[in-house]
Structure 1
Amino acid sequence: MWMETLKSFLSIALELTVLFVVISFVINLLQSYIPYEKVEKYLGGKNKGLAALFALIFAFVTPFCSCSTIPVVVNMLKKKMPFSIVMIFLFSSPVLDPTIITIMGVVLGWKVTILYTITTAVFSVIIGFTLAALGFEKSVKNVVMKGYEEENKKFNVKAALRETLDLMKSVYPYLIIGAAIGAVIHGMVPTNWIASTFGSDNWWLIPIAAIVGIPLYIRLSSMIPISQVLIGKGMALGPVMALMISSAGASLPELILLKSIFKKELVIMFVLSVMAMSTISGFIFYLV
């Protein structure tokens, strides 16, 4: 059993390592062609639909986890960008990571990945505009947070390699942790038990997974290999995706940071919104 677990870990870790390095390097090279100045201009524009689209694009091309998104949010608020657009970025940035989404496509399949991308993007836009319409902009505190500086830089091969190494230092350990957990589940947990306990008929697991995911703080990079094993053992896609979205979209460290820039009522709405997004998305996967 231990040998099977070790073989599974080495196989998953090797596959994810190759994918991570290659995809990260290519994406870092391509980022040199992104006109960030124009993106910021459209983010603050009068056309809300276009601004929402560029908020999603900006979220996609900035590979941040839930915590590292906060300084960027503060910077956007300081620049007087529309509250709804800032909220769209806040919700979409942790769940729309180009590297991890590409790995998700290879590991979990492109149909799942496309549906994941569409649902998280659509719900981020809906939540952003809804919070603005409900007047939650008044719940933003006047704060200045250090730790984020804008950079105007052009990537070349050497710079792309450096960025890939930096990304590996911050994200790759979580990928390996996920591979280790996935290997243990693969080698130690009986397939029949997972299939019978977390199978497709147990719809009630979706809201539970959405609630459990928030305090766990499992990064999206860790959830990919875990999800691959769970789905392979018969766990329904709905609760897996609900857990993935909630754990990536919010975390206890992020909530502590949000409390420093948002009033209590907006923090509560943030948590409820992430739970709603992950639960409804989970049911979409469940039905499909």
Structure 2
Amino acid sequence: MITGAVVLILALLFPKWPLLPFSAGIAGVVWVTKTSSDETKSWIDSTWTYALMIAPLLLGGVVVAGFLLGMPGTDNGIIPSRWIAALVGGNGFLANLFASIVGAFMYFATLTEVPIVQGLLGSGMGQGPALSLLLAGPALSLPSMIVIRTILGTKKTAVFIVYVVLLSTFAGMLYGWIIE
């Protein structure tokens, strides 16, 4: 109850700083749950541990995206924006297919694909190819393909790869078509 009142007061006093009441609300929820049952304390501790594990990966993804792509709309990164726009701009079949294939063979650490795709979107990537990359990326990677091949064999692995790439491609095309 007190947390809600504090958040409301901060939101009314500082309407241009929405992060302030949001942060106060999070801090209030953490404080309330930290002082309650052992199960809730365990949950908060686990959440904090996972947040500390994921934060460096997310920060690393942002740094890599910044170096490779630079600022959105500029060509000051290692990879020029015009290359990205030429390969995965728009919502055509080839742009979605290319994004799906690249996503299938890349290895993304947990949550690093989000800042990388955000940088690609800012550099001219289409919405459909972005979804294709985000769908194919977590489903496959070169290391996972190798492991799957040792378990299922070459033919079944090839079929799985083709399914992931094609379904990601068509989902990206459909999404891009709906967004336009």
TM-score of the superposed pair, with normalisation by structure 2: 0.62
Q: CA deviation at 1:283?
A: 0.8
1:241-284 CA distance string (max 9 Å, x none): 11121111111222233234323322222211211221111111
| One-letter code aligned to 2:158 | I
Between Structure 1 and Structure 2, whose CA radius of gyration is higher? 2
Once superposed, what is the RMSD of the aligned Cα atoms? 3.5
Work out whether 1:193 is the aligned partner of 2:82: yes
| One-letter code aligned to 2:129 | P
Match of 1:269 in 2: 159
Change (3 A) 1:169 1:277: farther
Where structure 1 has 5 or more consecutive residues not aligned to the other structure, the ranges are 1-14, 30-154
- Kindly, what percent of the aligned residue pairs are identical? 23
- How many positions carry a matched residue from both structures? 142
TM-score of the superposed pair, with normalisation by structure 1: 0.41
Q: Distance in 2 between matches of 1:164 and 1:270?
A: 34
Q: Comparing both chains, which one has the higher relative contact order based on Cα–Cα distances under 8 Å and sequence gaps of 6 or more?
A: 1
The residue correspondences of 1:1-288 to structure 2 (distance < 5 A) are 156-168=39-51, 170-184=53-67, 185-187=69-71, 188-189=76-77, 193=82, 196-197=85-86, 198-200=88-90, 203-219=93-109, 221-288=111-178
Match of 2:15 in 1: none
Q: CA deviation at 1:207?
A: 0.5
Q: Distance in 2 between matches of 1:203 and 1:269?
A: 20
Q: Distance in 1 between matches of 2:119 and 2:129?
A: 14
